[in-house]
Structure 1
Amino acid sequence: MTIDLETLSLNNPTNLWLEIPESQQTKIWEQSQAFSTDNRRWMAYLNRLSSQVFLPWIKEEHAGDAKVFPNWATLPSIWEVTNGTGISFNGKKLVLIPSEALDISEIRVPQEWVDIPNWSADYYLALQVNIEENYIRILGYTSQVNLKEMGTYDASDRTYCLDKEHLISNLSILWIARQVCSEEVTKNATVPMPELSATQAENLINRLGNPQVINPRLEIPFTMWGALLEHGGWRVRLYEQRQGMQRQWSIRQWMQTGVSEFAQQFGWESVDLQPGLEGARGSTTPSGATTLIRKITISGDEYDLLVHPKGRIQDRIWRFELRRATVGEMIPVGVKLILLTEDLQPFDGNQAQARTPVERIYVDVALGEDEEGLVWKTEPTADDFEYETLYL
């Protein structure tokens, strides 16, 4: 059905109306199938549809640097358990909260998007998605401060609720306010989530990863739930388990059969380094051996993160190495490569820092007989970064 957005805008001039291209609907629906229930599948569809319509608009009209948060690859692990899509722009965050309801009387923001420190946003937008008539209507927005001060918390489904009458219906005001009142406080500090041990996380994932647990976010105290979700590696593992997938992040498996299709979506690939390049760049990898590589961006510069065994795989000594993507370019002073245990704890010799401009920095790890999970990070933080748990 074709709609007349101009007529809709004239009838409701304070709202923003965006057309859903019919050509995208089938493709987006096909991209929204890998979920545990029909309900989660449909919710993911509404979120993906909303973000792929809203993102081009905000980039063209207001913020060319706008992008989904944390990144496209990890969004399914969020949509499997809760509603909402984060978008970062100009150092701020907003969250799209889509709904199909024809009569929306309030915005209902899942607690995850408000109280998990890494997820908490400056603004929350209420979206009405009309699939039949191919449009998305932005009913209004609120800040995190107003949501908490003027809204109510519904403990039954762990949402912050704000009546429609308290939303700012004209989205243009958001951009005007940012220019006129750039120091406006839009978000208050959040309380850090508690630390979970790897054993606790594994037990929770085994329990909540059962797809027969329809609404896992309500099964355990929020502080534990928030801590589990904030760790990207654990959240992705929960998503995998709810799909009935085997663990997709085994480095040893990648070395033998190639990087899993799922991990490829996060940027991992395997390469066989040529002997000449290995020697030129000081690699300790045996000639022709497989090396795992992930492209990352740090402070606007392109880097390669490499993982490979030192010697034989069965010796269980692994090197994590950071290089500039362009041969000959140097890593600037101060850049760090850091490894942590699965539950984000440091250990002896877990980091390397460029103290002078260098071609590479690396950390070698000798592991015991049991499989262990490691998490990598960099300082400064890589773009679109989320914790990933690599099992070795």
Structure 2
Amino acid sequence: MTTVFTFANPTDLILEIPTATQNQADIQSQSFSNPTSRYQGYINELCLGAVLVWLQEDFTPQAKVWPTTTVLSSFWELVNGTPITLDATRFILIPSETIDLRELRVPQEWVDIPSWVGDYYLAVQVEADEGYVRIWGYCTHAQLKARGNYDASDRTYSLDADNIINDIGILAVARQLCPEEVTRIPIEEIATVPQTQAQNLITRLGNPEILTPRVAIPFELWAGLIQHGGWRKSLYQRRLGISEQWSVLEWLQSGVSQVAEAVGWGSLGLQLSSAGARSVDQSQPEMIISRQLAIAGQSYELLITPQGQPDTTVWRFELRNLSVGAAIPGGFKLRLLTEDLQPFPNNEDIALNAVEQLYVEVALEPGEGIVWEIEPLPENYDREILKF
């Protein structure tokens, strides 16, 4: 059970930081490129460990990190804040160690990137040495946009304490009594950055001596770069000096990378039925790359198979239902896009009715990148650039 302290402002919610979280935060702090990012990751980890338990106990056990815990470091390297989803509602935790509680400052990324926007923003004071966090208020996206002051120097929206709701106990009541409350207001879409420009930006901002890359280029460019999960992860890995982790050719030769394994990728070795089986079909691949996915409450598998000889340039992406005898429902889509999210001829397969499989075959040049998408969206989906 979450320990709730009884001192301080009676409307504040004070939660104990679990010991396991403190230990994890110390370990995770090595996953960053410089002291600034390391500190940012540390307080976000402490904040998340305390607040997520409270949300799961007091709101719903289904509360979880968005998009998935395994990629949080790639956010925290670049921007302060942690997103948590409760069904269709998104909370953005904004931690700080400051003792000045006169305003809430939210990085622009959580307010103006459509796919990152939250419904509720929680102001969290982290007392690392004392072992607790204090949630001292919250506001909605609509309130931030309507009443917040935008500071171009550090690209944050700030809201005075007078304009945020200080009694965190009101939050649960508001969600129950006013489920139709407008928490978000529409914002403009962010244009995708052209691929060549994105690669140049990743090279430039991948220098860890640039402590705050988020303010080093115009916001529209920055937002266009990091809203793409594949480019965000590439930038993070570049800043840490990590080599390419998403090469399917490397996976086939040396095994799936730890980074890819952490999000569910693995390899399947095909057992040939007899010594003579190879002569029946010389093109039979010996290894398939696979990833298990949860979609709409069921388990599926995405398979990537080289077609033809080992030096082939044709790859087959195939989606199957993992339940024996179960089909893929009508309406599902499997889609492939270029690295900068452009479609190409015959790039998707749509299930008009229930089908056994969806597949797309694509010819790729060496070094080319592909992004896969599935509708409905799989749980924990974060865009990836698979290199071939």
Normalised-by-shorter TM-score class:
over 0.9
Instruction: Give per-residue Cα distances to partners, 1:54-109, cap 9 Å, x unaligned.
Output: 11211111122211111112211110111000011121111000011123221110
1:47 aligns with 2:44: yes
Q: Which moved more, 1:349-358 or 1:259-268?
A: 349-358
> What is aligned with 1:96?
93
Distance verdict in 2 for CA 1:285–1:338, change over 3 Å:
farther
8 Å Cα contact 1:32/1:44 also seen in 2: yes
Counterpart AA for 1:7: T
TM-score (ref. length: structure 2): 0.94
8 Å Cα contact 2:46/2:128 also seen in 1: no
1:180 is aligned, of 177, 180, 194, to 177
2:387 is aligned, of 383, 387, 391, to 391
Mapped partners of 2:177, 2:166: distance in 1: 18
Matches within 5 A, 1:227-242: 227-242=224-239
Identity of counterpart residues, as a percentage? 47
Number of positions where the alignment pairs a residue of Structure 1 with one of Structure 2: 379
Q: What is the root-mean-square deviation of aligned Cα atoms in Å?
A: 1.6
SS of match in other structure, 1:314: coil
2:374 is aligned, of 367, 371, 378, to 378
2:302 is aligned, of 284, 305, 308, to 305
Unaligned runs of 5+ in 1: 277-283
Mapped partners of 1:195, 1:288: distance in 2: 36
Mapped partners of 1:6, 1:118: distance in 2: 35
2:151 is aligned, of 146, 154, 157, to 154
SS of match in other structure, 1:212: coil
1:286 deviation in Å? 5.2
1:169 aligns with 2:166: yes
8 Å Cα contact 2:84/2:92 also seen in 1: yes
8 Å Cα contact 2:5/2:15 also seen in 1: no
Mapped partners of 2:118, 2:41: distance in 1: 20
1:333 aligns with 2:330: yes
1:264 deviation in Å? 1.1
8 Å Cα contact 1:40/1:81 also seen in 2: yes
Matches within 5 A, 1:274-289: 274-275=271-272, 289=286
1:288 deviation in Å? 6.5
Mapped partners of 1:192, 1:354: distance in 2: 29
Instruction: Give per-residue Cα distances to partners, 1:177-236, cap 9 Å, x unaligned.
Output: 122222111110111001211111101100101111111111111001001010000000
8 Å Cα contact 1:274/1:288 also seen in 2: no
> What is aligned with 1:60?
57
> What is aligned with 1:269?
266
Mapped partners of 2:45, 2:5: distance in 1: 25
> What is aligned with 2:200?
203
1:5 deviation in Å? 4.6
TM-score (ref. length: structure 1): 0.93
8 Å Cα contact 1:285/1:308 also seen in 2: no
1:315 is aligned, of 309, 312, 315, to 312
Counterpart AA for 1:335: F
1:386 deviation in Å? 1.6
> What is aligned with 2:21?
24
1:366 is aligned, of 345, 363, 376, to 363
Distance verdict in 2 for CA 1:171–1:238, change over 3 Å:
same
Unaligned runs of 5+ in 2: 274-280
Counterpart AA for 1:246: S
Q: Which moved more, 1:53-62 or 1:228-237?
A: 53-62
Mapped partners of 1:7, 1:323: distance in 2: 52
Mapped partners of 1:120, 1:7: distance in 2: 33
Mapped partners of 2:203, 2:189: distance in 1: 24
Mapped partners of 1:231, 1:348: distance in 2: 22
1:23 deviation in Å? 4.1
Mapped partners of 2:256, 2:205: distance in 1: 26
Counterpart AA for 1:375: V
1:358 deviation in Å? 2.1
8 Å Cα contact 1:127/1:139 also seen in 2: yes
1:126 aligns with 2:106: no
Mapped partners of 1:288, 1:232: distance in 2: 30
Mapped partners of 2:4, 2:315: distance in 1: 57
8 Å Cα contact 2:139/2:165 also seen in 1: yes
SS of match in other structure, 1:97: strand
Mapped partners of 1:170, 1:56: distance in 2: 19
1:76 aligns with 2:78: no
Mapped partners of 1:66, 1:185: distance in 2: 21
8 Å Cα contact 1:285/1:309 also seen in 2: no
Instruction: Give per-residue Cα distances to partners, 1:268-322, cap 9 Å, x unaligned.
Output: 111213346xxxxxxx995571111111111111100111101223111100010
Distance verdict in 2 for CA 1:353–1:5, change over 3 Å:
closer
> What is aligned with 1:7?
6
Mapped partners of 2:206, 2:170: distance in 1: 42
